[in-house]
A and B are shown apart, each in its own frame.
Chain A
Amino acid sequence: MDVAIVGVGLHPFGRFGARTGIDMGAIAIRRALEDANVAWRDIQFAFAGSYEIDNPDAVVGLMGLTGIPFNNVYNGCATAASVLKLAADTIRLGEYELGLAVGMDKHLPGAFSSDPRLYACPSWYGELGHFITTKYFGMKINKYMHDHGITATTLARVAAKNYRNGALNPNAFRRKALSEEEILGSRMLNYPLTQYMFCSPDEGAAAVVLCRADQAHRYTDKPIYLRASEVRTRRLGAFEVHSP
């Protein structure tokens, strides 16, 4: 059975002072419901993803206590993809026909950190400073550039394109266009990656309403048909963030 996205809602991304992550989640949900022309009481199930919020399903207290099944997911950078897959599979399996997937977060500034032992890494790996995501990205792109003859100018062009697009998007965190020179000239963090080549942890929320594809036109004349949202783990010989 095919699945369609029939409503999308965003809380902008950025920094929002005392506003909580779960409040941002509720705002994104309301906007997605409005986009799909459905009410909260029509939603039959939900999945939520978050890193900072222990219990994102508590958003039901802000939306309405309809008693629906509501499961929480944390899967690192793949959290949103996992949430979307689980919500879509619930419809594909025929369990429900209309549901919601939402992500919400309010990250602290700076690189993410944790206890290495929670990632199946020994303590010394973290003590030595290896347990940091940005270093992994530096090593990976440096090897890729070496193997394929790519220069730092190309990296700066990619970042400049993204900042240009951000300047056009009222929901974006970074809304100021930056030149390739400014990007290349910003502080080197992990060679060859400079400060403005990294994304920064921030705050925001996003929600989608999903339904059986054969019912999509009840809700919208422009459904988005979801062909795939898949997650895989690495195979032997591959490295990933936080893998010695």
Chain B
Amino acid sequence: MALLKVRGLTKLFGRFVALGGVDLTVGENEFHGLIGPNGSGKSTLMKCVAGAEFPTEGTIHFVGREITAATPSERARAGLSLKFQITSVLPALTVYDNVLLALQARSSTVNLIFSHTRRALHQRVMHLLKQFHLTEWCWERAAALSHGHQQWLEIAMAVACKPQLLLLDEPTAGMSLEERRITGELLMPIKRHCSLVIVEHDLDFIRNICDVLTVFDQGKVIDTGTVKHIQNSRRVQEVYRIRV
């Protein structure tokens, strides 16, 4: 069954067509990569799916339910989680509190006021920090982390919400080669319990972790299929020869 079904999605910014009738289907436990030149509509699609932008036309269904007009918090509660393109951790809070903040998002107000969930969540926070190599910095403010560690923290926060579908917008931007390799290793275990849609410019990285790729150009999908299919696609090769 398709987890995410996007049909005829159009997004206009004035006269500029950011997305022109995009279709996309993501299955359960599928790692789906979105690639294409800058300005081809990948991030706009991610924002429309997560609720940061509302589409001009078209529909988005998630787990069989239409979420086209749902707010970001409603989508998050339905099981969608987004890591923004620009790192957006909460710099004044500690690394620990950043993860706790994401983990406790679905607790009731009463539970939060009386800190009922604190002990139960503590072990999960520490587990996530260990998983993303952040234990050493857990009591530091997030602002003190390096760029690469901030990216990992943000992925940890996105994973903390236990999403069914994780949306990652350029998770390795600005990372060293070694950090990119580790990021790939960090993402693979996630496949057991959630699907992933990832926007990335590093084609080697995306080839290694994704099952399906969709290629964008000028707001439209020009091809979609397995990594092998995309590698042999003439239409994709033409776009990359001309535009990249």
* Binding between chains A and B: no
Which B residues fall within an 8 A CB radius of A?
none
Which A residues fall within an 8 A CB radius of B?
none
